[in-house]
A = this chain, B = another copy of it.
Amino acid sequence: MADPPVVAAVGSTAIASEHRGCNARDLMAEAILDCLADAGMDDLSAVEHGLASYESDHFNLQMTLGAILQDTIGLTPKPSARIEGGGATGALALRAAWAHVVSGLCDSILVYGVEKNGRGVSSRTANQLFALSADVDWEFMIGGTYTGFYAAMIRAHMAAFGTTEEQFAHVAVRNRRNAGFNPIAQKPMDITVDDVLASLPIAEPYKLLDCSLLSDGAACVLLATKDWARAHCPRFSERPPVYFSASGCGTDTMRLGDRYPQIANFRAKREAARQAYAMAGISQPLAEIDVAELYDSYSGVEIQAVEDLGFVAAGEGGPAVASGAFDLDGDLPVNTSGGLLGRGAPVGATGILQAIEVAQQLWEGVDARRQAPGARRGLTDTHAGIASISVVNIFERRD
């Protein structure tokens, strides 16, 4: 197999609840300009391929937005496609880009993701649109919502393992605190476990401060062969090379009911991790991974994730999280960016933002207050729905 691609350059906008007075193309262009500065390039003329990453035609009331974005950022007439898989969209796009480079189809590919919850989403229609991301034939009419599905899953985890609300409140506190050290974060907060426990119940046991954010934002990652990056990105050699070394992907039923009775954990995530670890040659994830961005759509999901990713055994996620093992000064800092809870989640860009955080950690280029010292290998965990699609991507610094 050919060498995996390197992360040649990255870019993003700030993440916000709403970027007013602009549309998806404007946000995308801003992220591209940030990426060009990061690469030290004047324009994208050398880049051979694009891949667009956004979740839904509904959010923008626009079909084939990928074609519009490709033109907006000046990549026509070069090849492109749109990759999608709910919340896993950005991570799936990176995975497809990996295959494009390693197969030799191109030597450089820009993965660009954006979400602008504008035209298609108002407070009136947001729940309706999110209900379309559950199974419309079977769940829509019973009023099923993802908050409810996630709540049922963590309830099962609590019942099986004694996981507590205080334990997952720790995630809600820590990730929002980490966000305070990330200049692009949407909603850094300095809160306590008691604040989380006292916040408005949404779908018990989840309360308002256990829930992640709905965000506008754009991000992009330029993947390339190392030779291409060296030849075309003037700033590439200023940083240690970071390779996108492995990718795994698992899937599961769309409906939670079809998974009964095992709903305490995510089968798709275990499968994705299994594949990625096999590809990266990892047998002891906790020891061999130095930094990780996990998909904390709800605080308890991080507890489930650290188990499904093999950082701790099943059922041990709650105590491990509450002990601080995944805090900035813990064994394996996770969600140093602030995660979906603190940095925010512009859906199609989320997986890309996770990859950016990991790459910047491996470059030792983030705010010292959130830097994982000496990190050599990082992981991103991203999923759709209740992990109907799950992706684990692994990045490695190789000096």
B104 & A85 in contact (Cβ 8 Å cutoff): no
B252 contacts A77, C-beta separation under 8 Å: yes
What is the distance, in angstroms, from A53's C-beta to the closest C-beta of chain B?
Answer: 11
- Per-residue interface assignment for chain A, residues 62 to 98, with 1 indicating a CB less than 8 Å from any chain B CB and 0 otherwise: 1110111011000111111111111000001001101
Contact between B82 and A251, CB atoms less than 8 A apart: no
Q: Is A99 engaged at the interface, CB distance under 8 Å to the other chain? A: yes
Set of chain B residues within 8 Å of A136, measured between Cβ atoms: 60-62, 119
**Minimal beta-carbon separation of A383 from chain B (angstroms):** 10
A384 to B76, CA, bound (A): 14
Contact A82 B81 (CB under 8 A): no
The contact string, 1 if C-beta is below 8 Å from chain B, for chain A 14-26, is 0000000001000
Q: Contact: B55 with A63, CB < 8 Å?
A: yes
- How often does this chain occur in the complex, in copies? 2
> In the docked arrangement, what's the CA distance between A57 and B79, Å?
23
Q: How far is the CB of A25 from chain B (nearest CB, A)?
A: 8
A335 to chain B, nearest CB (A): 24
Asked if A102 CB lies within 8 Å of chain B CBs, one says yes
Chain B residues closer than 8 Å to A258, beta-carbon distance: 71
Residues 119-138 of A at the B interface (beta carbon under 8 Å): 119, 129, 132-133, 135-137
Please name 5 further chain A to chain B contacts, defined as beta carbons within 8 Å, in addition to the given A64-B385, A66-B84, sorted by A numbering. Answer: A23-B137, A67-B254, A79-B251, A99-B100, A102-B103
Selecting from A30-38, A198-206, A267-275, A287-295, the interface stretch reads A267-275
- Cα separation A137 to B268 with both chains bound (whole Å): 38
Beta-carbon contact of A67 and B267 below 8 Å: no
A339 within 8 A of B: no
**A248 contacts partner chain B, Cβ-Cβ < 8 Å:** yes
Q: Cβ of A132 and Cβ of B249 under 8 Å apart?
A: no
- A83 and B81 contacting across the interface, CB-CB below 8 Å: yes
The verdict on A303 contacting chain B, using a C-beta distance below 8 Å, is: no
Give A133's nearest chain B residue, CB to CB.
B63
Asked if A58 is at the interface of the complex by the 8 Å CB criterion, the answer is yes
Which residues from B are CB-within-8-Å of A253?
Answer: 71, 76
Interface presence of A1 (CB below 8 A): yes
